[in-house]
């Protein structure tokens, strides 16, 4: 069984469990989840995988629009059971690259227009699941083959986040040529270095907006955005919220 639906998650926290798996994706806005004791955020750049029977708490953050897939292994073809087992082995908050976000926007638009057709909903949901599985498992290389020290790269990024960081710098930190670094980073992390840098900048900016009184122009500077308007544009595009709206949540 696979069912797809569009809905807004309200601001009030809810706690429940169900016997089917669930994939939560954001078409706009954000929501906070805690699944089996693991907390995380659903936004344009991050999804949430809720295993069946896992107790979870969730709450929308202001205006939001979620695409939710409900998945029951009953009636699922044998070829797809291993896919579900891998995806829902544990609670996860996978990052979503730009191509997946485009696919998600298309699926959301089709469901918004033809959501009453269960065959279309199942087909679109199946495509999203397969695309996510390929990103998480199908293209993954063993960690030993990449040789990437991601904690070291994260420390370097954090120390220099306020300025422009070139990919060639990160390649030097990883002791790889730029071309090899780009390919190995994409295989290991699932995002290009540029996408990962943007996600890091947006995550830090969102944290400062929620937890500090710093003015927006200062936050933009500390997170490496060229201007306040550049930060606003990036947040609206990738998180579905303006900084002002995020700070007010």
User: Quick check: 36 pLDDT over 90?
Assistant: no
Per-residue confidence (pLDDT) for residue 145, from 0 to 100:
44
The answer on 118 and 24 residing in a single domain is yes
The answer on 202 and 103 residing in a single domain is no
Range of the domain at 117: 2-138
Cβ neighbours, 10 Å, residue 38: 14
User: Quick check: 209 pLDDT over 70?
Assistant: yes
The CATH number of residue 148's host domain is: 1.10.10.60
Q: Quote the CA–CA distance of 75 and 116 in Å, as a whole number.
A: 21
- pLDDT by residue (tens digit) across 49-102? 999 988 999 999 989 999 999 988 776 666 677 788 889 999 999 988 888 989
Structural domain tally of the chain? 2
Which of 74, 107, 138 corresponds to the end of one domain?
A: 138
Q: What are phi and psi of 10, to 5 degrees?
A: -80, 170
The answer on 123 and 66 residing in a single domain is yes
The answer on 198 and 126 residing in a single domain is no
Which of 85, 108, 138 corresponds to the end of one domain?
A: 138
Q: Quote the CA–CA distance of 72 and 217 in Å, as a whole number.
A: 47
Tell me if the pTM is above 0.85.
Answer: no
């Amino acid at each position: 069984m696979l069912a797809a639906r569009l809905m807004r998650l309200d601001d009030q926290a809810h706690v429940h469990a169900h016997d089917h798996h669930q994939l939560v994706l954001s078409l706009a806005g954000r929501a906070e989840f805690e699944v089996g004791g693991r907390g995380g955020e659903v936004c344009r750049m991050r999804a949430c995988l809720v295993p069946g029977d896992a107790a979870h708490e969730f709450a929308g953050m202001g205006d939001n629009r979620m695409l939710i897939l409900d998945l029951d292994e009953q009636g699922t073809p044998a070829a797809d059971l291993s896919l579900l087992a891998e995806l829902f082995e544990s609670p996860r908050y996978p990052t979503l690259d730009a191509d997946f976000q485009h696919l998600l926007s298309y699926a959301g638009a089709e469901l918004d227009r033809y959501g009453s057709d269960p065959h279309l909903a199942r087909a679109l949901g199946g495509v999203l699941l397969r695309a996510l599985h390929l990103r998480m498992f199908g293209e993954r290389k063993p960690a030993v083959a990449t040789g990437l020290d991601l904690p070291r790269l994260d420390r370097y990024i954090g120390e220099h986040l306020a300025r422009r960081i070139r990919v060639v710098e990160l390649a030097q930190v990883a002791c790889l040529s730029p071309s090899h670094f780009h390919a190995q980073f994409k295989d290991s992390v699932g995002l290009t270095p540029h996408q990962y840098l943007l996600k890091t900048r947006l995550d830090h900016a969102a944290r400062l907006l929620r937890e500090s009184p710093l003015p927006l122009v200062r936050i933009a500077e500390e997170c490496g955005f060229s201007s306040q308007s550049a930060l606003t544009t990036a947040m609206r595009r990738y998180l579905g919220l303006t900084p002002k709206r995020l700070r007010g949540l």
